Each structure stands twice: as C-alpha cells, then as structure tokens.
Structure 1
C-alpha cells in the first residue's frame, strides 16, 4: 500500500467527517461505514472489526478502552523488507518479561500486557497489528530493550521463488 498525497488527503477528510459525525451524535456504524469505504478504496478489505460491530458491545467497551489507553503510549512502526516484516513499538513501562505477551495469529500479531505508565484498566493493554505480508513463525525474533519492542517476522516466500544458496566446491583435486 502506498501512502501518497491522495491517501493523506482522504485520511484528513475521514478525520474531519468522523469528528462531525461524533458531534452530531451519529451512530458508530455510520462512522465505521465511512472508514470501510475509504479503506476499500486502497484495497484494504479484511476488516474484522467491521464484521463484529453488530455483536454485543459489553466486551467491546473494555477492549476499546484498552486499545485507546495503549495507543496513547505506544507508537508503532511497521517496515516491510524483501525477506521479513519488522515491527518496532515504543512501549515504556514494561517492568518485567511476564508483563508482555506476543502471539502470532495468522496474519496478525496480538500484543498484550501491563505497563506501569498506563493508568486506565490497571495498566492493561491489548493490541492487534495486521501484518502487511504473510509471515511464518519459524525464525521469529523479538527483543525488548530501552523501552522498544522490536519483532522481526520472516516472510513466507512466494510459491515457485528460486531460493539462493551458498556454494562451497570440494577442495579435493583428483
């Protein structure tokens, strides 16, 4: 996906329209429909939050509060290279390893835990990050250092792709 001037313009228009809808007490579904329309223009059709919007909202309120709290503290940078996807997240306040849980579920990364800097929901957060490419769990690496969580996920090579290899000829001469 290319983040060009048109994309930025649409994003700003979306933000303006969402603000107008919120001021006029319009339903959440109207805002979701608007977001879905714009994302579909950029080929983003896999919107699990949209399909689930009709379900009961009892668990959604807590989930939304956690997500909002997390987004106030965690900046996410996703970069896609030829052979891997790398995610770097600024996550201050993680005080010990068991305060962080990282799961790969299909084409999404689920990150949850507790941060001493989040005051809402007892510091709990939960975040799902959609990945820009298909990845494999084989060879995944994750490192939390200096308030940054860096996760490197190897991509699944396309079918039929030629795999390069190192070649060391035999040194024996006959």
Structure 2
C-alpha cells in the first residue's frame, strides 16, 4: 500500500475526542492507523442484519475476569514505555488484533512478561469515556460482593 504525503486538516476538538476515546494523545502520530481504520469502517459498514445476527444478547456477551465482568465492547489499554497498546472484548474473548488473549497475556504482550494484569491494565466500559484501572474495578466489585452478603438474610 502506498501513502500519499498530503496534509489533511482535522478539527482540534475532534482530535481531542479521538484521543479520549482511544487513550492515545491526539498529538501522537500513533493516531494515524486509528483514523485510517475509522475511515475504512465508515466506507464499509457491515450490513445491519448480518451485524445483529452475529452478536449475542448484549447482557450475555463479555469476558469474565475472575470477579470482574467485562461486557462486550470493553476496551483494554496497557503501556510499555511510552507506547500504549489496546484490546477489545469481543463476544467472550479479549482480542488484540486477531489474537485472543487472557488479561495476563495482554498485560505482558510487551516487555519482560512479569507484570500484574490488575495493576497494568486500564479498562473503558461501553458507553463510558473514563479509563479505570482494573485493580480499582476489582476492589469495587469485592466491596459490592461483601455488601451483598452482609445484607442477605441468614439461613437457619
């Protein structure tokens, strides 16, 4: 594939929004492949009936990571050095490109291979613009589970 060296102007606010969406700073050249992917997706959207037929029910689709459920569409982000890399929950898998990975595999995709996934992965849930550390989600879920059992009536 050849590349043309033609400057294209993009509104600064749109670049900031894209940076917030992807977790990549808008001034980083790494946005180029994301912009190209978005243009291709816009030009070739899947047929509506085909896209819906392939998707399980929204409430059922996702990846269970110990006590934290990652609904389909959840984005995962980790960094090695200054370079972020991403994955997405698709159906019941964490996909980074064509690879299906466990959270640990994803966290250690770059680097030495001894990173704690709970401390290395940030999550952005569908419909949210906020990135949250996986360990924070786990702690919140543990608190919710504890509260649930405290409120449950004791069986005799």
TM-score of the superposed pair, with normalisation by structure 2? 0.25
TM-score of the superposed pair, with normalisation by structure 1? 0.23
When Rg is computed on C-alpha atoms for both structures, the one with the higher figure is: 1
Relative to its length, the structure with more strand (as a share) is: 1
